[in-house]
Structure 1
Amino acid sequence: MSLYWRIFLLNASVLVVAVLLLFGPVTVSTPVLLGEALVLLAGLLAMLVANAFLLRLGLAPLQRLTRAMRTADLLRPGRRATAAGRGEIADLTRTFNTMLDRLEAERAASSARVLSAQEAERRRIAQELHDEVGQTLTAVLLQLKIAADHAPEELRPELRQAQETTRGSLDEIRRIARRLRPGVLEELGLHSALRSLASEFSTRGLSVRPRIDPGLPQLDPETELVLYRVAQEGLTNTARHAGASHVDLRLRLLPDGGVGLLVRDDGGGMRGAAEGAGLRGMRERALLVGARLTVRDADGGGTEVRLDTAGGPRSKADAKRSSRSRSEATAP
């Protein structure tokens, strides 16, 4: 039944009941007596209450659809409004669900292109830092060493200090290049990359304890990169904001055959903070491989970042989409 006829019949039923009562026990004389006026006022109030109740009942599906529209979030896909029965509201609900499907697919495709382009740009910058800036600093370091060897005695301490400063800058450039382009991930795999990441962050006043369960399934490169980047972002947020002293970094096998990443610290927790660009970036990366990301306050204090990938191989459509996105991102 359409919304128009639904509202019309609800109001018509109330009016028909009122008319039948006037033909029956309810009569009005001239002039109107006090008792009759009270009966009419009571009848009017009853009709208004009945009309409000019936309208609320008839428009309940529209209210549910409104709530679904308000709470829709493309970074948390899968939530859909229930489309029951026939009529305009059911058609509107199904149309809204179809629109969400299309928007989620388009967002996933566009996010894949953006993140693939971002990874390609990171690789390019890391390569330039290593080849250009790194080699230049290495040449400067050698020249400073030669100058210190031939300089007068009173100038050598300053030249040695310049050497140490240049060497520290070179190490920092190499560290930035490693973070931009995780070569250990490409060369040695996810397990070694996570252990290297834990070792890197353990030098910043944190104790990062990596734990990788045995017997994990083979993952495709896109999933390994997402797991690595989420772990990297989680450790970065912990080092910057959590005030923690210990972090557990775990890669484990899920009951459905998938792989789960867990980053849990003993810091102050989220404290109701709004999600920033880092967390939104993690959610977008999780959508690329069909994973589920959960960020919450951990039991006993601290923050817990959990990324669970689905078991089984990824679909051919996902693999084709990722390949096409990488091609578009690296095209001149």
Structure 2
Amino acid sequence: MVRERAGSLFWRVCVTNAVVFLLGTLVLVLAPVTVSERPLWSEVVVVSVGAAVIVVLNALLLRSLLRPMDRLTSAMASIDPRHPGQRLDEVGSGPAQPLVRSFNAMLDRLEVERSVSTARALHAQEAERQRISQELHDEVGQSLTAVLLGLKQAIRTAPPEVVEELEQARETTRASLEEVRRISQALRPGVLADLGLVDSLSSLASDLTARTGVVVTRGFGPGLPSLAPETELVVYRVAQEALTNVARHARAERVHLGLTRRGDALVLRVADDGVGIGGAPVGAGVQGMQERAQMVGGRLSVGANEGGGTEVLLDVPLDAPGAAA
């Protein structure tokens, strides 16, 4: 098909040049103009003007034929495959319309393939998270629990001079066990199935405050619709990543965590009063949130918060695959 279009364009150029050449030949044949054996200056001027007219006419015709290709090339360079839905306008593209149509079809295929591959990668990631979480809980957690029981027994029979050291070891082990449980819960949000999305988000907020001291205000709208498990997981993971970024980079004192319904969309908002993102490039965390949003037909934006800080907005259409009204 590409060869056919290239050939079509080739023959259009050939026909255009042939038409211009034939017109020029007819003018020279039919016009009452002759050239002497020794051309006069007047004859040179006439021939030069005729040749210039032919060249200009050829250039104008070729420009009208090839200019849409230049516009198409420029438009193709402006397309960002990371932002789905962008298409070239087929109306008024002239000779480039078959190429525009093929380019748009290629974007459709790329978006479908990207969505499928992203979904597979994220599902594999979730499966790996669950496996690691289970191993942390079953292996590391149980081992630390056994160590705690052993230290408790050792404290009862230990000489007084080593009891204090054993107590410190037990506190360190207990803190490590709590950290392992926290990491295990973060890797596999079992609270989603047990508590639901809103309570799970509240748990994330409470955990952030407990670890960092950042005050989290919550704004959960009334009458929130139920969502499919896949969509709930996307909303939870985006909120989790956004709050993690606040704890790591924002140096914020207050954070707002909100979940509301806006028309036919569910909107998650995480806004802080920290240092903001400035001109920092998009990191792997934000890119991961964008890919998760695309899985359920949502749209994620990260920008400056009014009054300073960073605002993360996730819009999930309620009629998208994976969402249930």
TM-score exceeds 0.5: yes
Aligned partner of 2:265 in structure 1 is 258
Q: 1:223 aligns with which of 190, 210, 231?
A: 231
Q: 1:111 aligns with which of 108, 111, 118?
A: 118
SS of corresponding position for 2:161:
coil
Structure number with the bigger relative contact order (C-alpha 8 A, sep ≥ 6) is: 1
Deviation at residue 41 of structure 1 after TM alignment: 6.9
Q: 1:310 aligns with which of 284, 306, 317?
A: 317
Aligned partner of 1:248 in structure 2 is 256
SS of corresponding position for 1:75:
coil
Aligned partner of 1:141 in structure 2 is 148
Aligned partner of 1:328 in structure 2 is none
Normalising to structure 1: TM-score of the pair? 0.82
Structure 1 window deviating more from structure 2 (151-160 vs 296-305): it is 296-305
SS of corresponding position for 2:125:
helix
- Residues 59 and 220 of structure 1: is their aligned pair in 2 closer, same or farther, counting only changes over 3 Å? same
Q: 1:7 aligns with which of 13, 18, 25?
A: 13
2-structure distance, mates of 1:13, 1:280: 54
Aligned partner of 1:239 in structure 2 is 247
Runs of 4+ in 1 over 4 A off after TM superposition: 9-32, 35-54, 85-88
Identity %: 54
Deviation at residue 239 of structure 1 after TM alignment: 1.9
- Residues 41 and 167 of structure 1: is their aligned pair in 2 closer, same or farther, counting only changes over 3 Å? farther
1-structure distance, mates of 2:302, 2:158: 58
| 1:34-83 per-position Cα deviation (integer Å, ceiling 9, x unaligned) | x8878877776776666555444322332343234333334311111122
Q: 2:286 aligns with which of 270, 279, 289?
A: 279
- Residues 296 and 19 of structure 1: is their aligned pair in 2 closer, same or farther, counting only changes over 3 Å? farther
- Residues 197 and 12 of structure 1: is their aligned pair in 2 closer, same or farther, counting only changes over 3 Å? same
Aligned partner of 1:94 in structure 2 is 101
Aligned partner of 1:290 in structure 2 is 297
Contact 1:108 1:287 in 2 (8 A): yes
1-structure distance, mates of 2:220, 2:115: 29
2-structure distance, mates of 1:4, 1:131: 69
User: Is it true that 1:209 corresponds to 2:217 in the alignment?
Assistant: yes
Contact 2:214 2:252 in 1 (8 A): yes
The one-letter amino acid of 1:91's match is: P
Structure 1 window deviating more from structure 2 (115-124 vs 24-33): it is 24-33
- Residues 44 and 250 of structure 1: is their aligned pair in 2 closer, same or farther, counting only changes over 3 Å? farther
Normalising to structure 2: TM-score of the pair? 0.84
Deviation at residue 26 of structure 1 after TM alignment: 9.0
The RMSD of aligned alpha carbons is 3.0
- Residues 57 and 299 of structure 1: is their aligned pair in 2 closer, same or farther, counting only changes over 3 Å? farther
2-structure distance, mates of 1:53, 1:206: 67
SS of corresponding position for 2:270:
strand
How many residue pairs were aligned?
314
Contact 1:68 1:80 in 2 (8 A): no
**Unpaired runs of 5+ in structure 1?**
320-332
User: Is it true that 1:173 corresponds to 2:195 in the alignment?
Assistant: no
1-structure distance, mates of 2:147, 2:45: 101
User: Is it true that 1:154 corresponds to 2:161 in the alignment?
Assistant: yes
Deviation at residue 298 of structure 1 after TM alignment: 2.9
Contact 2:89 2:100 in 1 (8 A): yes
- Residues 31 and 38 of structure 1: is their aligned pair in 2 closer, same or farther, counting only changes over 3 Å? closer
